[in-house]
Copies of this chain bind each other. A is one copy, B any other.
Amino acid sequence: MEHGSRTCQDGDMTDERQRPGRRSDALTKARIVQAAVGLLNDGGVDMLTFRALAVHLSTGAGALYHHVANKSDLLAAAADEVMADVLSTVGDDDPSNGIRALMVGVFDAVTSHPWLGTQLVAAPWQPAVLRLFDRVGSELTTLGVPERAQFDAASVLVHHMLGVASQYDAGLRLTELNLGRQAFIESTISPLVEADSKGHPLLSRISQQITEHEDRGQFHAGVEIILAGIATL
């Protein structure tokens, strides 16, 4: 654990930086959040515990409450840190495709942090989501969407991205913890289909979607539908 040599961010402001977990300078909210992000990336929400965090930072659990209000505050701060980082390194494409590049970039980022999607949809007014909204909005400005409709358009785009990302995360957890996608289909979808006498053509397509695992394709198709709708404004 301690020799993690994890990726982490460089460019720290601290002059003397030991390994994460070695206590050389004062506790600070930034360091706590950084350690929290590390735990979340390693093992998801279940691994983020005030006790584990305290061990990682070589301090007591109660000390953390001098810098974060509670766990909800800590999670929001962790999400905001990752989101700010992601948004700063995405969307340097040509202006015509700026909105698509932004969407794909953030989608990939959310998808590679399996805890992030759940956190974002669980608390939609947290800073990380507002940051994302704002960025999508400014991208819509360069795309020529009228101001009046920017919030609505950004909302649809953001919700689509978060929705597909959380689907992806849930799919991962499904395959990790449970038996497999085929077993999931048989245990969850089949009963629904057989309960009614309807055809349920879409449920079959959902089964296909799950087995083929093409969340990225689904994501792209949705973005195009939304952009086509936005173009009519």
Residues of A within 8 A of B (CB): 118, 121-127, 130-131, 133-134, 136-138, 141, 147, 149-156, 158-160, 162-164, 166-167, 170-171, 174, 184, 188-189, 191-192, 198, 200-203, 205-206, 209-210, 218, 221-222, 224-230, 232-233
Contact of A201 among B147, B156, B184 (CB under 8 A): B147
Q: Are B160 and A202 in contact (CB under 8 A)?
A: no
- Are A198's CB and B138's CB within 8 A? yes
Assess whether B154 is in contact with A160, with CB atoms less than 8 Å apart. no
By beta carbon, the residue of chain B nearest A129 is: B167
Question: How far does the alpha carbon of A201 sit from the alpha carbon of B202 in the complex, in Å?
Answer: 40
Given known A163-B158, A192-B134, contact A151–B209 (CB-CB < 8 A): yes
Complex CA distance for A209 and B150, rounded to whole angstroms = 12
Query: Cβ of A192: which chain B residues have Cβ within 8 Å of it?
Result: 127, 130-131, 134
Q: Which of B124, B156, B202 contacts A170 (CB 8 A)?
A: B124
Assembled-state Cα–Cα distance A162/B117 (Å): 14
- Asked if residues B160 and A156 are in contact (CB atoms below 8 Å), the reply is yes
| A210 B152 Cβ-Cβ under 8 A | no
Cβ-closest chain B residue relative to A203:
B134
A155 x B164 contact (CB < 8 A):
yes
Is there an interface contact between B218 and A151, defined as CB atoms closer than 8 Å?
yes
Instruction: State whether B151 touches A202 (Cβ < 8 A).
Output: yes
Q: Are B159 and A202 in contact, with the CB atoms below 8 A?
A: no
Contact status of A225 and B156, CB under 8 A, knowing A130-B192, A188-B130, A198-B138: yes
Question: Which single member of B159, B184, B191, B228 contacts A232 (CB below 8 Å)?
Answer: B228
